[in-house]
Amino acid sequence: MKIELKESINSLEDLLSCLLFCMQHGSGAEILIEGEAVARQIEDAFSWKYRLGGNAGIMANVLAALGAKPVLNAPAMGPRLAGMLHEGVRVPSAETAEPIRAAGEIIADKNAEMVHFVFQFKKGDAILCGLNRITAPSDNRFIATYDTVNTRLLTNRHFDNYCLENIRDFDGSLLSGFHLAPLKGYQDIFSQKITQIKSWKDKNPQIFIHVEMGSFQSPQIMKSLLELLSRIPVDSLGLNEDELAVADGSNSGRWQETMQAAERLLERLGLFRVAVHTRDYILSVMERGLINPENELMALKHGTEVAAALAAFGSVTIPPPSEVNPIGQKAKEEFCREGAIAGYRGGFIGSKGTIISLMPSLLVRQPKFAVGLGDTATAAVFYEELKSIKRI
């Protein structure tokens, strides 16, 4: 079997080829499954633990747990997924004009639910493949996705109607899922979504919009999306280090390279803020004015704490472990030696009209959860930034 990343998954052999490739390189990827039959084969071939997904569901649950009032777009809501939502997450339905908790109101066929199969591996995990031994050089995950709804970026019509009527009451919007768009037809999908989101911004210019990236099916899809963001216009962009490398066209290993790549992206796209979350730290580059540097540091600190709490204990409301990631701590110390002001466990520096902030992650030695931590940190940071912008 040739070990490589496939354009799509049409068999169990394709699945194993992609998974072994990711393990061999310690890299992450998300590849679409072609056909329900293959998805059922994958489901039957392994023993699974079911958890809430994907990006929007995870972020909505985190926001609700922290005290926000998120309204979730759920175009393919079945009973299993609905039952995993926090009671504070609201989903508009036909029965009421107001958002309601989905689990008690939305009933759908289980087969209608979309499934993302997540294979998590750790540094040192090994598999024998013929005469070869594949050993993962770092922690990461491979995702095989069967999702005929979200690949088209569909929205629930009740969600659309609610947003049209109430968008002026929203403080912010978290956008995700663009990475699921297929190579064939992504231009039309993006054009429709950008037009819809721009209508929200037109009606409520004060709404703070953050777009979270993901593992795109092709670099050209991500680059096409990035060039469209200024049409809305989007305020904030979030990526991990792999996604940043695709967006910037360069490999960022050390924190200095990550910072420079984020600065280039901020300037090229004309955004207010670009944030990069890695296993070791979160780095934020933003223009001066809307959020003061101390509040941004506090927001990043909160994000690392909430993600660590989820990883360690499975709950975002439990106090996190206190040990600081040593690589992130070293980066912060180097950052401060280069002129950054230390504070709240991290540091910030002003540069050419921008504020650059760096916050080390917390270390979780025996994590219970390792998937969705970036989304968790993003949601927590976003909530704190909204409170700062609105002076709550």
**pLDDT digits over 271-292, tens only?**
999 999 999 999 999 999 899 9
Mean pLDDT of 128-136: 88
Are 348 and 223 contained in the same domain?
yes
34 and 141 belong to one structural domain: yes
User: Cα separation of 208 and 197, whole Å?
Assistant: 12
> What pTM does this model have?
0.88
For residue 108, pLDDT over 70 is answered with no
Q: Which long-range contacts (CB under 8 A, 24 or more apart) does 196-201 make?
A: 196/155, 196/160, 197/173, 197/232, 198/231, 198/232, 199/164, 200/163, 200/167, 200/170, 200/173, 201/232, 201/233
Number of C-beta neighbours around residue 164 at 10 A? 12
How do the residues of the chain divide into helix, strand and coil, expressed in percent and rounded to 5?
Answer: 45, 20, 35
**CATH code of the domain in which 246 resides:** 3.40.1190.20
Question: Does residue 296 lie within any of the structural domains?
Answer: yes
User: Quick one: 228 and 345 in the same domain?
Assistant: yes
Count of structural domains within the chain: 2
Domain interval for residue 142 = 12-48+115-146
- Would you place residue 122 in the very low, low, confident or very high pLDDT band (cuts 50, 70, 90)? confident
Residues 120 and 203 in one domain: no
Write out pLDDT tens, residues 333-362.
999 999 999 999 999 999 878 999 999 999
Q: Is the pLDDT of residue 33 over 80?
A: yes
257 and 127 share one domain: no
Tell me the H-state helices in 66-154. Answer: 79-82
For residue 83, being part of any structural domain is answered with: no
The beta strand positions in 247-289, using DSSP E, are 273-277, 281-287
- Claim to verify: residue 268 and residue 285 sit in the same structural domain: yes
Same domain flag for 127 and 219: no
pLDDT tens sequence across 38-88: 999 999 999 998 888 788 989 999 999 999 999 999 887 777 788 888 989
The CATH number assigned to the domain holding 24 equals 3.30.1110.20
* Residue 37 included in any domain: yes
- Distances in Å between the alpha carbon of 223 and those of 139, 180, 226, 244, 318? 26, 14, 5, 11, 38
* R_g (Cα) of the chain, nearest Å: 20
Q: 301 or 139: which carries more pLDDT confidence?
A: 301
